[in-house]
Chains A and B, each alone.
Chain A
Amino acid sequence: EPEVTQTPSHQVTQMGQEVILRCVPISNHLYFYWYRQILGQKVEFLVSFYNNEISEKSEIFDDQFSVERPDGSNFTLKIRSTKLEDSAMYFCAGGLLGETQYFGPGTRLLVL
């Protein structure tokens, strides 16, 4: 059964550094999402992506964040200048036209 994969599984970075989190969605999916979960808190929506552009974003997704799908398979989330409060588990998800979203295992990001 196809799965969503994410790399790396863990990343430690210094405050102010750029990080890129990578996701490989299921190949026939059309909608892609990033969510995050700060330790002990809710899973929060960041951004959705369809037809090579952002279709929706939350107030969390400010100018420090960007997404792209550079080669038709990878889906990346970039944080330009990380802050301590960016430490969280980041989940990638994908789906077809419909509601079921299929999630990856997550990348745990720790900003020091």
Chain B
Amino acid sequence: GDSVTQMEGPVTLSEEAFLTINCTYTATGYPSLFWYVQYPGEGLQLLLKATKADDKGSNKGFEATYRKETTSFHLEKGSVQVSDSAVYFCALILDTGRRALTFGSGTRLQVQP
């Protein structure tokens, strides 16, 4: 079945450090890929998405590139801030009409001042 695998957390970084959170997927067909973020006490917010191979999604300094050859969608940010501390979820939707998101297990990021 379809699945998303994320690196385990927590990831602890100092402010202004470079961030990478790895995400790989297994899917039949051609999925769209997403990163959602959950700040403490809040719901899931869409951070960025990419709908086809080689697309790059970006938002708030975060980027992720849809790599079909490695079935990956790694999240990166060049300089993290304390306010980026949250749980990050990688997810996919297939293009076959199914509308449900399949999520990874989430990666907690802690940024220290």
Contacts and interface: CB of A to CB of B under 8 A. Distances in A.
Interface of A: 4, 6, 31, 33, 35, 41-45, 48, 55-56, 58, 91, 93, 99-106
A86 B32 CA distance: 30
Contacts of A44: 103
Contacts, number: 53
A35 B49 CA distance: 19
Interface residues of B, number: 23
Contacts of A104: 43
B93 A99 contact: yes
A104 B36 CA distance: 13
Interface of B: 32, 34, 36, 41-46, 49, 51, 89, 91, 93, 98-106
A48 B100 contact: yes
A41 B105 contact: yes
A101 B49 CA distance: 11
Contacts of A99: 32, 34, 49, 51, 93, 99
A91 B106 CA distance: 15
